[in-house]
Amino acid sequence: MNYLDELNDPQRDAVVNTNGPVIIIAGAGSGKTRVLTYRIAYLIKNGTDPFNILALTFTNKAAKEMRERIYHVAGAEARNLWMGTFHSIFARILRIEADKIGYPINFTIYDTDDAKSLIKSIVNEMKLNDKVYKPALISSRISAAKNAMLTAADYAADSDNISYDESSGRPKFAEIFAAYEARCFRAGAMDFDDLLIKTYHLLNTHPEVTNKYQHMFRYILVDEFQDTNGVQYAIVKKLANVHQNITVVGDDAQSIYAFRGATIKNILNFHKDFPDTRVYRLEQNYRSTQTIVNAANSVIKQNKEQLDKKVWTQNEVGDRIKVFRALTDNEEGKVVASSIFQEKMNSHCFNHEFVILYRTNAQSRSIEEALRKINIPYKIYGGLSFYQRKEIKDLIAYFRVTINPTDEEALKRIINYPARGIGKTTFDHLAVLANEHNKSWWDIMNDAHQYGIKAAASLADFVMMIKSFQAMLDRNAYDVAMHIAKQSTILKTLYEDKTVEGIARYENLEELLNGLKEFSIDEPIDDDGVVRVRTLSEYMQDIALLTDADREDESDYDKVSLMTIHASKGLEFKYVYIVGLEENLFPSQLSLNSRSELEEERRLFYVALTRAMKKLHLSFATSRFKFGTMIHSEPSRFLQEIDPQFLIMEGMYNNRGSENRSFGARGNSGQTKIISSSTPTKSNINLPKNFKPINKAAPSSVDPDFVGDDTSLLQAGNMVTHQRFGNGTVLSIEGAGDNRKAQIDFGEAGKKMLVLKFAKLKIN
Annotation says 191 is catalytic = no
Largest separation between any pair of C-alpha atoms in the chain: 91
Confidence band of 686 (pLDDT split at 50, 70, 90): very low
Q: How far is CA 406 from CA 107, 188, 216, 552, in A?
A: 9, 6, 33, 32
Q: How far apart are CA 353 and CA 333, in angstroms?
A: 18
Contact 114, 388 (CB under 8 A): no
Helix (H, G, I), strand (E, B) or coil at 703: coil
What stretches of 187-289 show up as alpha helix (H) in DSSP? 192-205, 207-216, 230-239, 265-268, 270-273
> pLDDT value at position 524?
61
Q: What is the pLDDT of residue 365?
A: 78
Least confident piece of the model among 209-218, 369-378, 598-607: 369-378
Q: Is the pLDDT of residue 631 over 50?
A: yes
Q: What is the sign of the dihedral through the CA atoms of 674, 679, 684 and 686?
A: positive
pLDDT value at residue 64: 85
pLDDT-derived band at 480 (thresholds 50, 70, 90) equals: very high
Q: What is the pLDDT of residue 142?
A: 94
Tell which residue, 521, 412, 526, 421, has the closest CA to residue 477.
521
Q: What is the pLDDT of residue 403?
A: 95
Average pLDDT over residues 2-22: 92
Q: At what angle do helices 173-186 and 135-147 cross, to 10 degrees?
A: 80
The candidate with the shortest Cα–Cα distance to 699, out of 720, 677, 675, 726, is: 726
Strongest mean pLDDT among 74-78, 200-204, 435-439: 200-204
For residue 615, what are the β-bridge partners? Answer: 575
pLDDT, residue 703, reads: 56
Question: Residue 540 pLDDT more than 70?
Answer: yes
| HSE-up (13 A, CA, CB side) for residue 204 | 10
Over residues 206-218, the pLDDT tens digits come to 999 999 999 999 9
User: Is 33 a known active-site residue?
Assistant: yes
Q: What percentage of the chain has pLDDT greater than the value 70?
A: 88
Bridge-partner residues for 763, per DSSP?
720
Give the lowest-confidence range in 322-331, 394-403, 572-581, 737-746.
737-746
pLDDT in tens, 377-429: 999 886 555 677 889 899 999 999 999 999 999 999 999 999 888 888 888 89
| pLDDT for residue 492 is more than 80 | yes
pLDDT of residue 321: 96
Would residue 223 show up in a list of annotated catalytic residues for this protein? yes
Inform me whether the pLDDT recorded for 114 exceeds 60. Answer: yes
Tell me, yes or no, if 224 is annotated catalytic: yes
32 labelled catalytic:
yes
* Per-residue confidence (pLDDT) for residue 705, from 0 to 100: 62
* Residue 580 pLDDT class (50, 70, 90 cuts): very high
Kind of pairing between the strands at 108-110 and 189-191: parallel
CA-to-CA dists, residue 507 to 81, 389, 486, 503, angstroms? 36, 12, 15, 6
Residue 626 pLDDT: 62
Q: What is the pLDDT confidence band of residue 748, given thresholds at 50, 70 and 90?
A: confident
Please give the pLDDT value at position 464: 95
Average pLDDT, whole number, for the chain?
85
E strands in 667-748: 672-676, 719-722, 726-734, 741-745
Kindly indicate the confidence band of residue 546, based on its pLDDT and cuts at 50, 70 and 90.
Answer: low
pLDDT recorded at residue 340: 96
What is the per-residue pLDDT for 521?
A: 78
State yes or no: cis peptide before 587, omega within 30 of 0.
Answer: yes
Residue 282 CB partners (closer than 8 Å, separation 6+): 10, 11, 14, 24, 25, 26, 27, 30, 31, 32, 35
How confident is the model at residue 636, as a pLDDT? 95
Of 18, 33, 48, 210, which one is the catalytic site residue? 33
Q: Which residue has the higher pLDDT, 673 or 468?
A: 468
Inter-helix orientation angle 390-403/536-544, to 10°: 130
Q: What is the pLDDT of residues 40-76, one digit of tens each?
A: 999 999 999 999 999 999 888 888 888 888 988 888 8
User: Does position 675 have pLDDT exceeding 60, yes or no?
Assistant: no
pLDDT of residue 653: 39
Candidates 183, 218, 344, 611; catalytic one: 611
Catalytic hit among 11, 32, 116, 634: 32
Strand partners, 155: none
Q: Which of 97, 193, 224, 394 is catalytic?
A: 224
Determine the Cα–Cα distance for residues 399 and 490; give it in Å rounded to an integer: 12
- Which position among 57, 199, 254, 313 bears the catalytic label? 254
Query: What is the CB neighbour count within 10 angstroms for residue 222?
Result: 26
pLDDT class of 688 with cuts at 50, 70, 90? very low
Among 223-237, 385-399, 662-676, 729-743, the minimum mean pLDDT is found in 662-676
Q: What is the mean pLDDT of residues 647-662?
A: 53
Beta-sheet pairing, 623-626 with 629-632: antiparallel
- Let me know: does 11 contact 39? Beta carbons within 8 Å: no
59-63, 245-249, 426-430, 631-635: least confidently modelled range: 59-63
- Alpha carbons 198 and 539: distance in angstroms, whole number: 22
